[in-house]
Amino acid sequence: MLATRLFPPAVEARLGSGFDAILNPDDQVHDGPTLVRLAEGCDGLMCAAGDPLNAATIEALPASVKIIATFSVGYEHVDVSAAARRGIVVTNTPDVLTDATADIALLCMLGAARRAQEAEALLRQRQWTGWAPTQFMGTHLGGKRLGIFGMGRIGQATADRARAFGMEIHYSNRSRLPAAQEKGATFHADAEAMLPLCHFLSINAPMTPQTRKWLDARRIGLLPDGAIVVNTARGGVVDDEALIAALKSGKLAAAGLDVFDGEPRIHEGYYGAPNTFLLPHLGSGTIETRNAMGFKALDNLEALLLRSERPPNAVGA
């Protein structure tokens, strides 16, 4: 078994007890050819977001590899079609990071709305000279309309938290939720019809060819002046150039971002935009959640390799 990254201690302990595991104690990020070389003789890979498991890498994997279990919900870094052609099962880790990611969505919302990063920078630079009546005036969440693009588990959990702040929930999704799950939220079959209503927009949709750079200049133009954008899904759902231009022009008041297109590389424009609250992909970053992700990945590996069963979280091509 090849573990492509350094995983939490409890996860690696269970991995080592069930498999002859090749670990990565220095947490080196390997390129495709290196992954292929390290996988020689392995019957499975436990990988993570960012690993270059594209078609070229998967086609070159040793014939012994039967499963790729990713330590993530999203699996756009794995070419599932290429894996299917090789007869390799791909699995992910759904459900376990819903609450942690929704917490970060609210953190990004509050951080952007209340100008937290600007204020903290002033303190850390020892430039604060005291309270002032007009200093760092932000935006109140209560009474504002929150539009959620993608109302899956994380979107629904984000809505639950936002209701506690007195926000009015609107959402757009591939299909309307049952009334019990809507909890009074307003459904918009056309996401673009929702945008003019959004004081805040939370992006919770998965990364697909259809959502690639979905939030572009035209759609940003549909948002009210002074709106705030939050993204805790995937960076590629946002057109960076368009978002940065809107932040600099004042069209948008602020943005709270936990994910970035091409991360860990970040568009240089964000560094020069003080009205951004930026986090380094912390969505699932709690001990409890990362352990749960690892254990779910191991459930998938053990099902196929130890019991010859269909993994519980196999994804389709």
Distance CA 56, CA 74 (A): 20
How many angstroms separate the CA atoms of 39 and 76, rounded?
A: 20
Q: Give me the catalytic one of 234, 241, 267, 288.
A: 234
Cα–Cα distance for residue pair 16/52, rounded to 1 Å: 24
Query: The tokens 């948008």 sit on which residue?
Result: 252
pLDDT at 24 over 90: yes
CA dihedral 47, 237, 268, 73 (to 10 degrees): -20
Q: What percent of the chain has pLDDT over 90?
A: 96
Active site (annotated) includes residue 281: yes
- CATH topology (fold) of 2-96+286-307: Rossmann fold (3.40.50)
Give the tens place of pLDDT for each residue, 28-63. 999 999 999 999 999 999 999 989 999 999 999 999
pLDDT given for residue 300 in this prediction: 98
What residue spans in the chain does CATH classification 3.40.50.720 cover? Answer: 2-96+286-307, 98-278
SS3 for 278? strand
pLDDT of residue 317: 59
Q: What is the pLDDT of residue 74?
A: 87
- Is 267 in the active site? no
- Cα–Cα distance, 150 to 208 (Å, whole number): 12
* 148 bridge partner residues: 171, 202
Per-residue pLDDT reduced to its tens digit, 57-103: 999 999 999 999 999 998 989 999 999 999 999 999 999 999 999 99
> Using CA atoms, how far apart are residues 103 and 282, in angstroms rounded to an integer?
10
The CA distance from 221 to 252, in Å, is 9
Question: Which residue in 281, 290, 307, 310 is the catalytic one?
Answer: 281
The CATH number of the domain covering residues in 98-278: 3.40.50.720
Model-wide pTM > 0.85: yes
Q: What pLDDT does 316 receive?
A: 82
